[in-house]
Structure 1
Amino acid sequence: MIDLYYFPTPNGRKITIALEELEIPYAIHLVDILDRQQFNTDFLRISCNNKIPAIVDNRTEGRGLSVFESGAILMYLAETAGKLLPSSGPARVEVLEWLMWQMAGLGPMGGQANHFNYYARDKIPYAIDRYTQELNRLYGVMDRRLNGRKFLCEQYSIADIACFGWVQQAAVGGVDLARFPHVSKWYSGMKARPAVQRALAKDEQFDRPTPLTDAQHRNLFGSSGSD
């Protein structure tokens, strides 16, 4: 059994989708980042960077193995299951390239674009333009890659899973998917996958208020947790 420490965010959804695709039994433990639960001592023992997602793999002998950082978790799950990540050769390199592209580009730029376009109380034109333009550039890269392809790599992989949750929030970050027809087609195919649908259904048990209250906004964006 995998214990998944989770909140319904793009990075959190990477792991529920992977677990559903790999058919690995798991239990969700909500870490309410709007209530600062990511700074609780018990969670910090699992994820020292006070970020979700994190897992504890209780299938290992002795004490459960904890893994934090969504990309590392995806690699760990795929390697232990022997699926969604080729074991060697150019095909493996290709999947890791696109996984790192998401981790270093699509995710961080999507997060910043989402923040300044939607969550920030003070609208800063320079920041909005900077991150929205870069995010649209990244969608252009992805669109060219998906031209004539069903998936980012030769086969469905953790690279596709990593990107899905961020593309799901394209409009929040100022991206019009209609401008990127190959990404749009890929996204529709991803949404139709039964495992993806099962993973998204998990979110229905968690209430995410919109808009955030002042206290929730401060908890999410206003403190390092060191005070």
Structure 2
Amino acid sequence: MHLLSIISYICLLVVPAIANVEKTIFTAPHSVAFGDARPNLIDLQLVSLSSKKLAVRTVLPVVFPVEKHPRGLSSWYLLDGLRPGQRYEVRICWAATQPTDFILDPFEVTTVFDTPALLQDLTTYAEERQSLLAGEDFDGISEPTAVKRSALFLRIQSAANFYTTNKELMQNPPPVNVDIILDPYLLNVFPQSLLPTAAYILVLAIASWFLSGYAWSKVQVFVQDKQHSD
């Protein structure tokens, strides 16, 4: 009975989650030194995700796909302090009540700097962000860029994906609340964030095995008693 009470309590803790998830999987590049020449990574003032900060909660602006923004608006982030050769995934999670299409693209830093279209997109985002942050403290990368590091740019493109008769919403779709999560893989096989889920499944499996054995023994006793009474 005690075991049944524990299992019942665990089941009560399980609640449904109504949310959407988009992700991309990548392998961290080799460490390189980007130099201290200005402008540099620090000057961009991008939000950074790293082993010290695996998740960020933010709000992303969206637009409906148009010729100028066929895949929506671009937001740029820095994936910093990665372990070269290690596998990672980046997830973006948002409420299902805000229908949105997200596209996640990781780029090596040198690729962005050597590609005019990507560099222009990044520069535009960085300038708009800096104008909004004017006079505010910036909590981004602080290590000198001359120090060797494994880093990637992450571009998130967000496009509204709904239809309504409300003209105001169709012209100005509301921004979307999101969680952006950097998840390293253990042994390049298993996402670190799934460890609690794996432990939970293992506990349920072990508990089920003991419970089935207990139930089977009771069934056997009942059958034997029934045979004797007959």
Instruction: Say whether the fold is shared (TM-score over 0.5).
Output: no
More helix by share: 1
Task: Name the structure with the higher strand share.
Answer: 2
Q: Which structure is richer in relative contact order (CA contacts within 8 A, separation 6 or more)?
A: 2
- Larger Rg computed on CA atoms: 2
Identify the TM-score tier after normalising by the shorter chain. Answer: under 0.3
TM-score (norm 1): 0.24
User: Normalized against structure 2, the TM-score is what?
Assistant: 0.24
